[in-house]
Structure 1
Amino acid sequence: MNNICDRRQLGQTALEVSTLGFGAASMGNLYQAVSNTEAQATLDKAIDLGMTLFDTSPRYGAGLSERRIGDALRPLSKEQYVLSTKVGRLLKPDATADIKQLRHGFLSPMPFDAHYDYSYSGIMRSFEDSQQRLGLAEIDILLLHDLGAYTHGDNDKHYFKQFETSGYKALDELRKHGDIKAVGLGVNEVEICERAMNIGQFDCFLLAGRYSLLEQTPLQQFLPTCEAHGASIILGGPYNSGILATGVKGNNIPYYDYEPAPQHIIDKVAKIEAVCSQYKVTLAAAALQFPLGHSAVASVIPGLGSAKRVEQTIALFNEVIPAEFWQTLKDKNLLDKDAPLPCSAKSI
């Protein structure tokens, strides 16, 4: 059985992170408002139940998530948590911001707008700004946020060159001087991680949704490359934007990769759900536990927006899943035959 208190080493660093971590986009009011009281209760519950890895970003609510994370962690001793935030955008005041409307997916009262900057000076400024918003002197993991064609399209080469020729030096200096303990990328695509490894040494990659119960393509090349490089994976988006949490049986539109799911994905999830029913396994539990079967994955960090959701997620994380369930998925070609299985698998 998985245990919330289990720890895994992050890359080749001295950091150890909880195998279930806290994704803090919801603390920035992702899609809907979360009150300060509810945000504090959510984070308190996660801390009380043993989570130690907390991942935030200036992007999440134009600084709101960082403020809330800092307020929750500040009373703790440093040994009680590992903090991750991101660089690559600078927040600048925006007096015209309509704080009553969704902005970049967040309903935040913070009147700021983000501007991309992957340069040396931009990363240093972003790091210092995050310290101020967090109200914390120490940040453990600094991730370059949203580099790559997935986000930047035709501007991909421009921003990649900016990071390659200038920005990486900032991350490396901060790590060498002990200001941070690990550097990495926080992205939605494998390709940019592979390109970045040619620039320098990375300790981790926060990868959203690309190695999951639905997708195992990284098994053949990317995950072995990460291990050879000395980098761990922090796996965000284990539910592939929701479809592996909700399933496809209801009347709601299932989402995959931030959009309504295409039919071939719906069909595959329906087949996985049938196997779940056969073995009385919760689909979301299988999605949450599966990535940790691979030795490159150090932690899985679903987004958590309420104390109840924290409790439910920990229950899913600790649900006992029989080994026969995983084998049946492989036999039906619903899971890559080479996929390593979670250590929680039990024979029945």
Structure 2
Amino acid sequence: MTRLNFEKRRVGKTALEVTTLGLGGASLAGIFTGVSPDQARATIGHALDRGINYCDTAPQYGLGRSEHLVGDVLRERRAETVLSTKVGRLLQPVSPDMQDKGNWVDPLPFDQVYDYSYDGVMRSFEDSLQRLGVNAVDIVYVHDIGVATHGVEANAHFWQQLATGGYKALRQLRDGGVIKAIGLGVNEWEVLMDAFALGDWDVFLLAGRYTLLEQTSLDPFLTTCIERGASVVVGGPFNSGILVGGGTFNYAKAPDEIVARVKAIEAICARFNVPLPAAALQFPLTHPAVCNVLPGPRSPAELDGILDWWQIDIPGELWTTLAADGLLAPGTPIPGGTA
């Protein structure tokens, strides 16, 4: 087995350094498709063996299952890893016949309750440590706060909780040395602009909004990250499947205009003999605010496929051709300049 020599990038202004490729823990908990515990643990161990040092999980993933599985592997290899989890959801025991399983195939017997208050954040953090079986994590993200998850009215309530208590809890944990970095993990970049008004953050996990297909977060969000010294972890680099040959975009059937855009991007990739997924995986790192790209393989074999794409040399002319054809947003950083 070849251990790759990954580039490492600093997380915000902290001392943390993460490999530019990470491991997302949602798929391993069985979203849409079941994953056996042995396969999940094997995937996590394989990622570490291949040189990846950053793993992300959350209470929501499998309603506790992901944190248990990640902890099974990482607690024995904690010194070589950077570990993140999330707050904003508390898990309450529930009868399986009453449970809201969402998209999880075989979740643990809990329902989630949203709580972004001071006490909610502190309890969520402590519960995560117990599920993981570790005494510390490195990064804590506020998970899925925003209109897309909660709607306008409920989100106003939850944002008030964060502004008046949750943020204080996170600052207390970070400033006291209990954790090393704080941020938000969301699908809406607009929420992160609101977060900047609350105070200082180290890193944001943004899914699907800065990809080869979509650069809507470029300005003002990513430019503000540079100004404020915050890093970005890019989740969902394949836009939920459309950039790896699937038919879904944002977890729904891709509209015709998205399919057409993907075909145009793929045609240019083919001219340079570069697989579309390889370009999609490597693209976000052309932006200086991005410290990590976070795909979610379900097996060691899927991870090896991702690593094959990762190692493909992409000529700078591919990016400039995409820019010239209007397939990258104006101002997108590419080698040698901007789109």
Aligned to 1:49: 50
Matches within 5 A, 1:61-72: 61-72=62-73
Matches within 5 A, 1:67-146: 67-78=68-79, 80-97=80-97, 103-146=101-144
Superimposed CA distance per residue, residues 258-315 of structure 1 (whole angstroms, 9 cap, x where no aligned partner): 1111111111111111112211110000000000000000000011110001111111
The alignment status of 1:182 with 2:181, answered yes or no, reads yes
Deviation, 1:39, is: 1.1
Question: Structure 1 residues 144, 127: CA separation in 2 closer, same or farther (over 3 Å shift)?
Answer: same
Q: 1:281 aligns with which of 274, 282, 296?
A: 274
Question: Structure 1 residues 259, 109: CA separation in 2 closer, same or farther (over 3 Å shift)?
Answer: closer
RMSD: 1.5
CA distance in 2, matches of 1:230, 1:108: 40
Superimposed CA distance per residue, residues 58-87 of structure 1 (whole angstroms, 9 cap, x where no aligned partner): 000010000000011111142x00000000
Q: 2:310 aligns with which of 314, 317, 320?
A: 317
CA distance in 2, matches of 1:4, 1:115: 41
Aligned to 2:158: 159
Say whether the 8 Å CA contact 1:71–1:134 is kept in structure 2: yes
Deviates more, 1:126-135 or 1:149-158: 149-158
Aligned to 2:15: 14
Aligned to 1:338: 331
Superimposed CA distance per residue, residues 4-63 of structure 1 (whole angstroms, 9 cap, x where no aligned partner): 521000000110011000001012111122111111111111010001010000000010
CA distance in 2, matches of 1:107, 1:315: 29
TM-score by length of 2: 0.95
Question: Structure 1 residues 171, 123: CA separation in 2 closer, same or farther (over 3 Å shift)?
Answer: same
Superimposed CA distance per residue, residues 316-340 of structure 1 (whole angstroms, 9 cap, x where no aligned partner): 1111111221111111111134222
Matches within 5 A, 1:227-266: 227-246=226-245, 254-266=247-259
**Amino acid aligned to 1:246:** G
**Amino acid aligned to 1:116:** Y
Listed as ranges, the gaps of 5+ residues in structure 1 are 248-253, 344-348
Aligned structure 1 segments of 4 or more residues deviating by more than 4 angstroms: none
Say whether the 8 Å CA contact 2:64–2:107 is kept in structure 1: no
Superimposed CA distance per residue, residues 159-215 of structure 1 (whole angstroms, 9 cap, x where no aligned partner): 111110111111010001111100000000011000011111100110001011111
Superimposed CA distance per residue, residues 75-103 of structure 1 (whole angstroms, 9 cap, x where no aligned partner): 1142x00000000000000024468xx81
Say whether the 8 Å CA contact 1:131–1:139 is kept in structure 2: yes
Question: Structure 1 residues 318, 234: CA separation in 2 closer, same or farther (over 3 Å shift)?
Answer: same
Aligned to 1:251: none
Deviates more, 1:210-219 or 1:59-68: 210-219
CA distance in 2, matches of 1:136, 1:108: 24
Say whether the 8 Å CA contact 2:62–2:108 is kept in structure 1: yes
CA distance in 2, matches of 1:146, 1:134: 21
Say whether the 8 Å CA contact 1:12–1:231 is kept in structure 2: yes
Three-state SS of the structure 1 residue aligned to 2:142 is strand
Say whether the 8 Å CA contact 1:4–1:51 is kept in structure 2: no
Percentage of matched positions with identical amino acids: 49
TM-score by length of 1: 0.92
**Amino acid aligned to 1:165:** T
CA distance in 2, matches of 1:284, 1:200: 36
Three-state SS of the structure 1 residue aligned to 2:158 is helix
The alignment status of 1:327 with 2:320, answered yes or no, reads yes
CA distance in 1, matches of 2:225, 2:34: 37
Listed as ranges, the gaps of 5+ residues in structure 2 are none
**Amino acid aligned to 2:76:** P
